[in-house]
Amino acid sequence: MPTAPPVLASVPSRERLTPQARVEELEYELSLSRQLRRRLEEERRRLDANLAAAEADRAHLLSVLAQREAYVDAIHRSVAWRAAQALRRLVGRTW
């Protein structure tokens, strides 16, 4: 059995504003837009600062990692390490 289509409420029409009231409404919307823009710019600056700090931390950690890898490589190339590994291989253990 077919059902009746839903009844749609009519969209309330905007009452006719005087030019002065319309100008005041637009000025209010403009001030809200400017406030929102200022807040968004402040948020962007804050996020840029956080990003710069994170990138500085990343660069520092990469530098520390490179230093430590160089240190481990120097250990592995050392005569003492190679001798220790040769002895370990003699008893059946290696790293």
**Looking at the domain assignment, is residue 10 inside a domain?**
no
- Residues 13-33, mean pLDDT to the nearest whole number: 86
Q: Which domain holds residue 71?
A: 19-90
Identify the residue whose tokens are 């890898």.
Answer: 69
Asked whether residue 11 is domain-assigned, the answer is: no
| Structural domains of the chain, count | 1
Q: Summarize pLDDT for 50-59 with one digit per residue, the tens.
A: 999 999 999 9
Q: How far apart are CA 58 and CA 52, in angstroms?
A: 10
The single-letter DSSP state of residue 91 is T
Residue 39, pLDDT > 90, answer yes
Q: pTM of the entire structure?
A: 0.57
User: Residue 31 falls within a domain, yes or no?
Assistant: yes
* Mean pLDDT for the stretch of residues 36-62: 97
14 part of a folded domain: no
Q: Is 8 among the domain residues? A: no
- The answer to the question of residue 5 being in a domain is no
